[in-house]
Amino acid sequence: MAISDLCFWLRVIGTNYEPSGSTEADRFSNMIANTTATGGSPTRWEIELPILVLQPTHARVGNAREYVLMGDIRNSRLSRTRYEVAVFPASTIGGTDYPQTSEQLEQLEQVVFVKRNIWIAAPVVSGHSLPPRWADAVNFPKLAALLPRQVEVDEISRSIVEDEAIEEVTITFDSKRLI
């Protein structure tokens, strides 16, 4: 069993195309239909990342307001979905059976993350899959509905484990749309 068989996968897409549609799924379908990932001049760039964890959380957005006459404070009811992605460790040396190298992480940051619109979605490469609960729309419908999603990169945390010649990376994405 190869190391890459132990991880799950997440597709990260970058494009400058502005999609239209009333739902997140409509906008994603519109973006895929109107952009190309191959050929002489691609208009979207995709990388499938091997991941260990894909954890959603919800963060409140906005300030609390104090109503003096009523004597109470009301918090904002708007929230944004935050995705914390623990990427499978990357090899800092070539020629290993790790599914990726530090070079591929640099490509992600320099090619995909510089685009105006970034999406995370289910993988399309044969043999690559999301974590089981993300792919199970029957038992986990609310979780499965969180992908595909248009996001912004909030934070990238990178650290090198010298003794093992690997680089550990955690990426935090924030959904562009409020709920």
Give the model confidence (pLDDT) of 76-115 as tens digits: 778 889 999 998 887 777 666 666 767 778 888 888 999 9
Q: What is the mean pLDDT of residues 112-121?
A: 93
Nearest C-alpha neighbor of 16 from the set 149, 116, 109, 112: 116
Least confident of 10-14, 27-31, 73-77, 87-91: 73-77
Q: What is the mean pLDDT of residues 115-125?
A: 94
Nearest C-alpha neighbor of 14 from the set 160, 145, 138, 112: 112
Distance of CA 156 to the CA centre of its chain: 12
CA separation for the pair 55, 31 (Å, rounded): 25
pLDDT of residue 75: 73
Q: Enumerate the β-bridge partners of residue 119.
A: 13, 150
Angle ∠(161,163,166) on CA atoms, nearest 5 = 40
